[in-house]
Amino acid sequence: MKILVRLLISAFLFVSTLSFAGEDDTERAVRAATAEWVETFNTRDAARIAALYAPDAVFWGTISPTIRTTPAQILEYFVSSATRRPTLRMALGEQHVRIYGDVAFNSGYYTSRFVQDGQETVTPLRFTFAYRKSGERWIIVSHHSSRMPAP
């Protein structure tokens, strides 16, 4: 009986370890998808940025007065942003990833920097990305970004 109990405990611990390893890999993949968004955003290539979003994605941009619910609207936001602020770049900060099967959320902050008329403007921003697993990729299904409120 003792041997059976030890075998069951060992099997449980082994399976638990595998489960945690899978979660770590998934969390890394979601963080990598967010880093890919930042890297792609920094290219200022609107089509490449918009391609990171699912066809049914919802996007509430930092400087948008309207919510965007179609691929064309999301693309237009990034085209407009790149035209108005071609030097705008993002740097990723703190992140908090939560995973629920094939859906994941990443909330945190990033910092925007751009130069206009020789002056650099730095703005802290907060974000939440919702991802859905599509094949081997995590694609953005919902994105909200806003300026950090003054302390």
* Distance from C-alpha of 33 to C-alpha of 133, rounded to nearest angstrom: 11
What's the structural domain count of the chain? 1
Per-residue pLDDT reduced to its tens digit, 47-101 = 999 999 999 999 999 999 999 999 999 999 999 999 999 999 999 999 999 999 9
User: What CATH number is associated with residue 74?
Assistant: 3.10.450.50
First to last CA, the chain: 62
pLDDT at 11: 40
pTM score, whole prediction: 0.82
What is the domain extent for residue 38?
2-147
